[in-house]
Structure 1
């Protein structure tokens, strides 16, 4: 007998058709989301979280699903995002494969999986979908809109398209627009997937799956998510014991190689390759300047946020601290009271997922002052 898997996800039906920024529309599309805490009688205590590329809506454990979430230890009673005070909503990004409509979903027009027939996806589309959910929950204005990594860019798109939708904003390790290094890395990740013969122009299945391409893409990502400082501290030049080495003259020989292989194995079958391609490209396309007449600073200044917390990490090579400073400066130019926090965490871009003590302290301090 198969044991039922707990699932706290809820689903929101988007307007049908749901128009997309670059053309086309989705029919009968939906968003997956989860919630924690209680919405106040005045509906003024809601925090919406936009996630990075790969996480789902399960940010933390709850009564319906006690399994650990991707931000476990940050959200809950008495934690940095205190659910005794805040009603927290985490949405799975439109285009993802974690419950929301995306390339891995069924196209109602054909009865078949969308695959590459899914319309061009932008972070603006993801933001518009999330705002529709906010309205459906009866929330006129969010107390805080929070985004990290790709989700931080989605949050900026959200604020730019729906001015006044949130009173405050928490921006974590993100960017006002994709820069060449990040674009180059994501381009190589997409190329690795598309060059895998098993990808077959998006027509793979469980039997013929682009495992090698997804593995390389994940390894490239993990390399950029952490810092060289951490790699040296954790692995140095430690070699694998003889019994752990592959029977291949060019197989894994160092601990760092084994670590990357382990990460890749856990990821490749847990995320749809076509969805990965769509979200990755949407990240490259995003530029807040499009919402400010070609001027990023003007766009940021026009977001209309009362207060903001902008957090960056000095060792982040994917979303460098200079981009966090650009966001903070742009918000200040628009009259937003900004708390700028630069952390020296050695974990690089992934620090917001693992260095909960320092990130949690900054977030708790900011939310506690509201």
Structure 2
């Protein structure tokens, strides 16, 4: 198995929205399919907070990607037709420059010396990548979760750079509930003594803080309906229980422990903090005189698909409706799809059949 990851060197210095700049920074990305001679079939994917650019297997890397069933030749996003680019967000730790990367000025990891990060910075970095590939205008820009907010930033900052847009389970601005959850996740990391103001190592790593942060996330990524259906009040067998006082007793607790264990050492804590706060800061309303509706109404697109899930508590359906209405105000032909998937916010990763059908039908009309 090879590595399909490619690297784009950002213009140096690369200026950041809230001040500061990056030198010798790069973006990790992967591609599928072929760019047409007219360069008019490019589809860019922005991911949620934690995924890498490896959305699906390809010739260079046959390991399954995070959206494996969605993307590929003959699949819902058909790479026989589309040239698909998936970018790892600026500030992440999956190949793109972030807090865990080496600062060329010091030769040490940036840690908390990394400049304040916004989703606008991530959007501008991806725009530079797209232009470097010789693509003047994307046929379609797709963003889910945090990536949907990054996509809205891209649309606001680069008028005319995109023809159509697929917005999935995202938000035009962070709402109090989402901010509160992310604030608690960051606090869990920062209060872990091993975090040590960002100066941790493999030997001294904020395992407990990252574990709690991940568990909080997983709880909000799914719905109460799904938890009841999957776990009810089922208790662990006696040999599966933890011996210490107040240890895990229910299956739901064991499930969360397993999720956290798979995540903690695979994601850099400082990068997590930066991306989490960037999500809180995002507000498309900054790009219009009259708030969110005005800002979205300034974005000129031809066709838009907005998908939301009724059980999503983190990015509620009302926010998807707000995006659909706003972009309709800009003159786009907007299709709004509300799914009753029980999996909550994570449904776009799990309920592939229904999300895929809506996406494939939309792309077929372009």
Matches within 5 A, 1:76-155: 76-155=72-151
The aligned residue for residue 226 of structure 1 is: 222
Could you give the per-residue CA deviations for residues 160-201 of structure 1, whole angstroms, max 9, x where no partner exists?
Answer: 000111100000000000000000000000000000000000
Question: 1:363: how far off?
Answer: 0.1
Partner-residue secondary structure (3-state), 1:199: helix
SS for the counterpart of 1:49 is strand
**TM superposition shift of 1:334:** 1.1
In structure 2, stretches of 5+ residues that fail to align are none
3-state SS, counterpart of residue 350 of structure 1: helix
2:182 to 174, 182, 186: 186
Alpha-carbon offset, residue 6 of structure 1: 2.4
For 2:240, the equivalent position in structure 1 comes to 244
- Whether 1:39 aligns to 2:14 is no
In structure 1, the partner of 2:318 is 322
Q: Which residue in the other structure is 1:353 paired with?
A: 349
SS in structure 1 at match of 2:300: coil
Q: CA-to-partner distance for each residue in 1:300-327, whole Å, 9 max, x for gaps?
A: 0111111100000000000000000000
After the TM superposition, which segments of 4 or more aligned residues of structure 1 sit over 2 Å from their partners? none
Residue 7 of structure 1 deviates from its aligned partner by 1.1
Question: Are residue 367 (structure 1) and residue 359 (structure 2) matched?
Answer: no
Residue in 1 aligned with 2:16? Answer: 20
Alignment match, 1:235: 231
Aligned to 2:329: 333
Q: How does 1:288-327 map to 2 (within 5 A)?
A: 288-293=284-289, 295-327=291-323
User: Structure 1 stretches of 5 or more lacking a match?
Assistant: none
Give the equivalent residue in structure 1 for 2:276: 280
Deviations 1:282-341 (A, max 9, x none): 000000001112511011011111110000000000000000000000011111100000
How many residues are treated as equivalent by the alignment? 366
| CA–CA separation in structure 1 for the residues paired with 2:322 and 2:284 | 11
User: Equivalents in 2 of 1:293, 1:274: separation in Å?
Assistant: 34
Which whole-Å CA distance do the structure 1 matches of 2:300 and 2:24 have between them? Answer: 32
1:249 is displaced (CA, Å) by 2.2
> What is the SS of the residue equivalent to 1:56?
coil
Q: Deviations over 1:219-247 (max 9, x none)?
A: 00000000000000000000000000011
SS in structure 2 of the partner of residue 107 of structure 1: coil
Q: Distance in 2 between matches of 1:205 and 1:31?
A: 24
Q: Distance in 2 between matches of 1:232 and 1:6?
A: 41
Cα deviation digits, residues 242-285 of structure 1 (max 9, x gap)? 00001112000000000000000000000000000000000000
In structure 2, how many angstroms separate the alpha carbons of the residues matched to 1:84 and 1:157?
29
Cross-structure match for 2:162: 166
Once residues 346 and 152 of structure 2 are traced to their aligned partners in structure 1, the CA distance between those partners, rounded to angstroms, is 20
Q: Partner of 2:152 in structure 1?
A: 156
